[in-house]
Amino acid sequence: MNQPNPASRHFQGLIERGTSRRSAARVRVDRAFSLACLGITLIAVLALVILLASILIEGASGLSWSFIQNYASRIPDQAGIKAPLFGSIWVASICAIVALPVGVATAVYLEEFAAKNRFTNFLRINISNLAGVPSIVYGILGLTLFVRMFGLFGPVQNPAFEVGGETFAIYYDSMGEPLRVPVADRNETPRLVTGSIGYMQDIFDGPDGELIFTNDWSPIPLTIVNADADFSPAYGVITVDNAVEPIDFEIEKSWYYVQFPFGQTVLAGGLTLMLVVLPVVIISSQEALRSVPGSLRAGSMAMGATRLQTVWKVTLPASIPMIMTGAILAMSRAIGEAAPILVLGVALFITDVPQNLMDAFTVLPMQIYNWTSRPQEEFRALAATGIIVLLGVLLAFNAIAILIRQKFSRPLQ
């Protein structure tokens, strides 16, 4: 039996002792790195807790049902968040309905069907670059593309094409009240005669002395008189000077009303936010599809399934949980965006809730920004309450995405 060489035993001992020392050093480095990561995480979580606690302390007292139901007001005690709340829900819903199918379909094409060549590589690189573009740039793009449509359909105030609305010419009577007269389109000047029918808006006095404008219009017979005639001012009396050209035109919109260009409407806002989050949805969906093992695709193809059947029955269901995770991140960004909406020229003060895709709107981030810019402390407290409502809307959308993710989660077997 061969005896080991003493020199070999000596070198073997050195190797074992060196290995032990290196293992101990790696353990210490690993522990130090873990503690550093834990410390950084605790600092970030602590900062978030402090921020949320300060917002809750300052704004929780103002959270009430009246705050949700009231519209914006110059009086802090009467101000509410109804219009921007519903505006955010409308805009976020449009963004999700458009961005998620388009983003997932794009990712499926690039990962499952497109050939690997210079063109597809060019697309992937540019999509990654678009994810880092500032949101205000997308606001400028949305202003040009959706609000104005490159000026191809005329000015925003006078759309070239409208469907689903009834047009009225606006006049003022001798009492200074607006009257609506039906016309075929915005380019028509109605011929007013005594006895023709106009419509006057029903207005009531509020409990605080402010006028309450309703959306109800009552018919009233018109009386047309000359401007130099001697007459007593009354409702429905219009002078000839005022009857020549309408002061303005107004559209009574049905639920399916559409105009071109879109203008500063809910649809334009939702599509603009869609541009903001679309690269994020595409990239996250691509990563989700790449995480699906290739053996699942190979097994499906071996059973005789087509590529489309494999994607629809195997790849997509397996990647839905990660896709919905990306959707949560995308919607979190969309709901909190203010810069793109601000570039669209959306009004800050709105006292109406959107009823269709072509209605004016405002969103929670813009209303919060408006309140924080005011010098009164009461409005800053309202801003904190608005942030709580915004977080609630965000959590509601995220909860829907999480439920979808949990429903489609399944083992990759």
pLDDT tens digit string along 307-318? 999 999 889 988
Domain stops at, among 207, 223, 257: 257
Interacting residues of 252 by C-beta distance below 8 A, sequence separation 6+: 165, 166, 168
Contact 315, 292 (CB under 8 A): yes
Same domain, 148 and 170: no
Do you find a cis peptide bond into 261, omega within 30 degrees of 0? yes
Structure tokens belonging to residue 68 = 């949700």
Task: Please tell me the least confidently modeled range out of 16-25, 196-205, 268-277, 278-287.
Answer: 16-25
- For residue range 272-327, list pLDDT tens digits in order: 999 999 999 999 999 999 988 888 888 988 888 899 999 998 899 888 888 988 88
Same domain, 147 and 165: no
Name the pTM for this structure: 0.82
Separation between Cα atoms, residue 311 and residue 315, nearest integer Å: 5
Task: Flag whether 303 is in a domain.
Answer: yes
- For residue range 82-122, list pLDDT tens digits in order: 999 999 999 999 999 999 999 999 999 999 998 888 999 99
Q: Which domain holds residue 315?
A: 65-153+265-408
- In the block, residue with structure tokens 């559409």: 258
Of 269, 227, 247, 216, residue with least CA distance to 93: 269
Helix boundaries (H) for 336-372: 339-343, 364-372
Domain stops at, among 228, 257, 286: 257
Task: Flag whether 226 is in a domain.
Answer: yes
Q: DSSP per residue over 21-60, as a string?
A: HHHHHHHHHHHHHHHHHHHHHHHHHHHHHHHHHHHHHHHG
**pLDDT of residue 211 exceeding 70:** no
For 52, phi then psi, to 5°, come to -65, -40
Say which residue, 222 or 408, is predicted with more confidence. 222
Domain stops at, among 257, 276, 303: 257
CA 46 to chain centre: 29
Instruction: Reduce the DSSP state of residue 185 to 3 states and report it.
Output: coil
Q: Is 235 exposed, middle or buried (0-12, 13-18, 19+ CB in 10 A)?
A: middle
